[in-house]
Amino acid sequence: MIAAAPRRKPSGLSPGWGLSAYLLASIVLGLLLLRWQLGQGRAEAESVEPRQFVTPLWTIAIGILCNVSCAVLGCYLVLRRMSLLGDAISHAVLPGIAIGFLLTGSLNGWPILLGAMVLGVLTSVLTQAIAGAGRVAEDSSMGIVFTSLFALGVILITSLAARAHIDPECILYGQIEYSAIDLPPPGGWQVPRLAWRLGAMLAATLLFVVVLWKELKIVAFDPALAAAMGFSVPVVHYCLMSMVACVSVSAFEPVGSILVVAMLIVPAATASLLTDRLGWMLAWSATIAAASAIFGYIAAAWLASSVAGMMAVAAGVQLAGAVCLAPRHGLVSRWLRNFALAVRITGEDIIGRLFREEEAAGARSQESRVREQEMRNKGQETEPPPLPLSPSPSLPSSVPPLVAWLATWQLRRRGWLTPFGGLTDAGRDAARSLIRAHRLWESYLDTYFDLPRDHLHDAAERMEHFLDPELQADLDAELAGRAVDPHGKQIPPATSAGASSPVPTDSGKH
Amino acid sequence: MLGLKYNTLIVLAGVSLLGASAGMIGSFAVLRRRALTGDALSHAALPGICVAYLILRERNLPAMLLGALASGVVGIMVISALCRWTRIREDAAIGSVLGVFFGLGIALSRIIQGLEGGGAKAGLDSYIFGKTAGMTRGDVELILIAALAGLAVVVLGYKQFLSISFDADFARSLGWPVYRLDLLLMSLVAVAVVVGVPAVGVVLISALLIMPGAAARFWTDRLATLLIVAGLFGFAIGLVGTALSATFLVLPAGPIIVLTGTALFLVSLLFGTRRGLVARVIEQRRFEGTLGLRRLLRAAWETRTSAGNARFSRDDLQARLAWPTRKLAVLLNRATIGGHLRPVGAGHYALTSAGEVEALAVVRGHRLWEAFLTAYPEQASGAANLASLSIDEYVSPAIAQELTAELKLAGRWPEGAT
């Protein structure tokens, strides 16, 4: 549907609460685990000195700075379905580093970043050029471009390695373990040099996102609209690509080129499962990236493993958790929602069936119905005469027993079903609304669509569960108060109070 | 033999065979637009190797290959599960699996290194760049077996693979198990990746998968030819790349092989006979030439008819066609050489008898097309390439007669046409 969906009502907690709770829990749990780890293997009497925290905390901080800048930009890549371009760029910037090094003889500073930006844009341009000019599928052309550039970079770097202090393995794997020890000379602030650089990179990334917020957003969600509104999509695209290249390069030293991919894509993909709003997605992505840094470090220290590798694994674990447990898009919650819907529909099918049986019985014994009506008119509140009902309404055999049992239990709890399996008054009202929805829909389909008669029932059987009184009134108005459905059955009138409608009013789209 | 050392021969044979089999199998990945799944697969294989090593505590080639194959296939299945069951899209799923599995692999390999010192990591450190020079006879035999097995599967399932490569929906409508065939294809890719990674490394094996197939696509439109050409290209890439890297011993072999592939791809992109840029430019030029000649003849015929004079000047044509002077000169020249026009005096031309016949046919076709598209405008999109199509091939004789009658009635029927 094109029409804008109504803003969802916040259910209980605002999204900020979950996010803050997750962040806080990660930090507290991380500190506790770290404390426990440092206390391992020492005598009871010895206490952990604050000094020992410094190196691990700086390592974690560097990891957080690096991961968060990757994760923030990664959101846009994931939204634009260009995750793999991020992968390609993070491999393809290698020659840029080599050339920058060749020109300046230093591995730090602007020339390297500039070289990376050029290569980042070049990767994107070449991919599109080969895909366009050669009529090659985009993924093949991307694969060719980035493996070629990567090979070129490896060759340049290995031939430089003899002269320079570059270790190809370091560029691939990262050496976050040693970065926290790389301190400036004593005196003044004892902040690792890498932390300064990555902090600056993170600040630049955030600035980029804030300044180009509107442009990035519209290009991410609707490039055609962006073009129509006069934004230059390619300019925004290439800005994003050069930022990705810069971030990849500055992340090489701590996490290595290949794991940049994990940090670009995994937190953003996880965040996309947790929220539907861009701002919250960025926040979630950053939080997950930070948590990956914390727990990745702890796991690596515990197992004597690679910090960068464990950070990727920690991100993967969070992705798996979100796939299962995310509140709206997770597998468990989706399964639970479907189950609850199945229970509701089964329950409504039961009362609908009971109502139809009562109706049929009522038609058979018209006089008894008249008598009942008379008694009602006199104001005598007696229970209705016993109706010939089967004690347990038969259901289609496809309904699992658990669903049927839960549906019956739910009907009893609501007081719609008597202990003997008949309908209570409230239940009858609910069933009447349901049958009304069914027959209104059949009449509507019959009036406005050219469908054969025997095709009406199944469609209405599905729709009846989703027509709330408001929609029923609309349909009624459309049908100009039609009294019987196409099969000649009476359309029950609307119940006076909508309170006992079987359809919860907030059950929206399906 | 040929003055080469035994070791060099082994490496040459191994890498060329690997190139041939990866090229052939990779063509399917290219056609199915799964090129980067191969990349994910090669990264996802690392944890399997490490786990096999951790279990056996020794370097056991078959076990490690099985482990690699298993974790690669698990990676592929996770990708398809993520795409199927969650809102994560394919690109993000591939990227996530690639990153996380590879991170796990690196973490595990670091644990292995810590267990037994530096020597124990043998076989794992070559995973990134590959160790081409360290290839043994056993490796070559393994590659040969994998290549033959892949070839056998492709030959046996050729028809099915053909249809899922080009039209998966059609294959599904024929009742073929597309999903399982896809999985079979990806398993073939996985086998090629797993035996190939030790030689060229994890990032670069995807180049060997993609490049031959993508390059071969420029030379042919038939799947069987494509597979053979891709296999040959892969073989050539392996052979030339290894030979080059043997010449420049300082440089790692894997990247050299990949750059050889890049060169081959670029050559194909430019000079491929079916889709290459040069071939397409030539085709385009030839087409424009034919089209221009036809327009020239039509203009000549119309000018002559309206003026009632056998000869017409160059300026008359210029006024009718509004072409750049240069283009007009070139085409006039071509028409004169082709025997359609003959110069009569300075700047004046007349149609030759051959040109007369040709021009009449062109004008008749053009007027019929005009009448047809006026009468049946909805057909315009159906006749995709109107200019290269003769009207008599497109419409039935009955409609052609009807249109002829219409034109005759309107007085627009060229005199003398049949």
A121-126 long-range contacts (CB < 8 A, ≥24 apart) are A121/A238, A121/A241, A121/A242, A121/A245, A122/A92, A122/A149, A123/A85, A123/A88, A123/A89, A123/A92, A123/A149, A123/A241, A123/A245, A124/A85, A124/A89, A124/A237, A124/A238, A124/A241
Least confident of A191-200, A229-238, A479-488: A479-488
Nearest to B28 by CA among B201, B168, B169: B168
End-to-end CA distance of chain A: 11
A423: β partners: A417
Q: Would you call B203 and A144 a contact, using CB atoms and an 8 Å cutoff?
A: no
Residue A249: pLDDT above 60?
yes
pTM of the model: 0.81
Q: Alpha-carbon dihedral of residues A81, A87, A88, A90, nearest 10 degrees?
A: 130
Q: Which of A154, A260, A338 to mutate to test the interface with B (most CBs of B within 10 A)?
A: A154
Residue A420: pLDDT above 80?
no
CB A87 within 8 A of CB A261: yes
Residue identified by tokens 């695209």 is A237
Q: Which of B46, B86, B202, B267 to mutate to test the interface with A (most CBs of A within 10 A)?
A: B86
Residue B126: pLDDT above 70?
no
- Helices B178-200 and B158-166 cross at an angle (nearest 10°) of 90
* Alpha carbon A334 to chain centroid, angstroms: 12
Residue A292 or B37, more confident: A292
In A301-340, the residues whose Cβ lies within 8 Å of chain B are 303-306, 308-313, 315-316, 319, 323, 329, 331
Q: Would you call A265 and B96 a contact, using CB atoms and an 8 Å cutoff?
A: yes
Average pLDDT score over residue span B207-212: 92
Measured between beta carbons, the chain B residues lying within 8 angstroms of A148 are 207, 258-259, 261-262
Nearest-neighbour CA in chain B from A175: distance (Å): 12
Average pLDDT score over residue span A324-353: 88
DSSP 8-class letter at A417: B
A484: β partners: A490
User: Nearest residue on chain B to A323, judged by CA atoms?
Assistant: B86
Measured between beta carbons, the chain B residues lying within 8 angstroms of A305 are 107-108, 110-111, 114
Name the pLDDT band for A379 (thresholds 50, 70, 90). Answer: low
Name the pLDDT band for A442 (thresholds 50, 70, 90). Answer: confident
Strand order in the sheet with B311-313: B311-313, B348-351, B341-343
In A101-160, the residues whose Cβ lies within 8 Å of chain B are 130, 133-137, 139-144, 147-148, 150-152, 154-155, 158-159
Average pLDDT score over residue span A43-61: 71
Least confident of A194-198, A474-478, B47-51, B200-204: B200-204
Query: What would the two tokens of residue A305 be?
Result: 């493993």
Mean pLDDT of chain A: 80
Nearest to A206 by CA among A259, A268, A282: A282
Q: Would you call B259 and A316 a contact, using CB atoms and an 8 Å cutoff?
A: no
Q: Would you call B252 and A155 a contact, using CB atoms and an 8 Å cutoff?
A: yes
Q: Would you call A262 and B96 a contact, using CB atoms and an 8 Å cutoff?
A: yes
Residue identified by tokens 């690392």 is B46
B342: β partners: B350
Residue A419 or A91, more confident: A91
DSSP helix, strand, coil percent of chain B (3-state; round to 5): 80, 0, 20
Query: What would the two tokens of residue A293 be?
Result: 């840094």
Mean pLDDT of chain B: 84
User: Nearest residue on chain B to A258, judged by CA atoms?
Assistant: B99
Residues in contact with B83: Cβ distance below 8 Å, sequence separation at least 6, in sequence order:
B89, B90, B93
pLDDT for A250 = 85
Nearest-neighbour CA in chain B from A39: distance (Å): 22
Q: Would you call A313 and B111 a contact, using CB atoms and an 8 Å cutoff?
A: no
User: Nearest residue on chain A to B30, judged by CA atoms?
Assistant: A140
Residue A279 sits at φ, ψ, to 5 deg, of -60, -50
Structure confidence by residue, pLDDT tens digits, B291-317: 888 888 888 888 887 777 778 888 888
Q: Which of A82, A154, A258 sits opposite B255 (nearest CB)?
A: A154
Q: Which of A77, A80, A84, A270 to mutate to test the interface with B (most CBs of B within 10 A)?
A: A84
A3 shares contact with chain B (CB less than 8 Å): no
Residue A312: pLDDT above 90?
yes
SS3 B350: strand
Structure confidence by residue, pLDDT tens digits, B219-256: 988 889 999 999 999 999 999 998 888 887 677 788 88
Residue identified by tokens 């960025």 is A282
Measured between beta carbons, the chain A residues lying within 8 angstroms of B94 are 83-84
Measured between beta carbons, the chain B residues lying within 8 angstroms of A133 are 269, 277
Q: What are the helix (H) ranges across A326-424? A: 331-364, 366-377, 401-414
Least confident of B132-136, B357-361, B402-406: B132-136
Least confident of A320-329, A478-487, B316-325: A478-487
Least confident of A62-66, A443-447, A457-461, B133-137: B133-137
DSSP output for A264-329: HHHHHHHHHHH-SSHHHHHHHHHHHHHHHHHHHHHHHHHHT--HHHHHHHHHHHHHHHHHHH-TTT
pLDDT for B4 = 67
User: Nearest residue on chain B to A76, judged by CA atoms?
Assistant: B92
Q: Would you call A266 and B214 a contact, using CB atoms and an 8 Å cutoff?
A: no
pLDDT for A212 = 92
Nearest-neighbour CA in chain B from A168: distance (Å): 10
Q: Would you call A144 and B275 a contact, using CB atoms and an 8 Å cutoff?
A: no
User: Nearest residue on chain A to B213, judged by CA atoms?
Assistant: A140
Exposed / middle / buried, residue A14 (Cβ in 10 Å: 0-12, 13-18, 19+): exposed
pLDDT for B129 = 67
Q: Would you call A130 and B91 a contact, using CB atoms and an 8 Å cutoff?
A: no
Instruction: Count Cβ atoms below 10 Å from residue B145 Cβ, excluding itself.
Output: 12
Q: Would you call A329 and B87 a contact, using CB atoms and an 8 Å cutoff?
A: yes
Q: Would you call A313 and B269 a contact, using CB atoms and an 8 Å cutoff?
A: no
User: Nearest residue on chain B to A156, judged by CA atoms?
Assistant: B251
Nearest-neighbour CA in chain B from A467: distance (Å): 27
User: Nearest residue on chain A to B94, judged by CA atoms?
Assistant: A84
Average pLDDT score over residue span B376-390: 66
Q: Would you call A269 and B92 a contact, using CB atoms and an 8 Å cutoff?
A: yes
Nearest to A311 by CA among B201, B40, B102: B102
Measured between beta carbons, the chain A residues lying within 8 angstroms of B82 are 323
Q: Would you call B256 and A155 a contact, using CB atoms and an 8 Å cutoff?
A: yes
Nearest-neighbour CA in chain B from A472: distance (Å): 33
Nearest to B361 by CA among B392, B402, B332, B318: B392
Q: Which of A151, A273, A311 sits opposite B87 (nearest CB)?
A: A273
Structure confidence by residue, pLDDT tens digits, B98-124: 999 999 998 888 888 777 654 445 556
Query: What would the two tokens of residue A236 be?
Result: 């925004």
pLDDT for B254 = 84
Name the pLDDT band for A389 (thresholds 50, 70, 90). Answer: very low
Query: What would the two tokens of residue A107 be?
Result: 């591995």
Average pLDDT score over residue span A145-161: 85
User: Nearest residue on chain A to B43, judged by CA atoms?
Assistant: A258
CA gap A365, A383 in Å, rounded: 17
CB A195 within 8 A of CB A58: yes
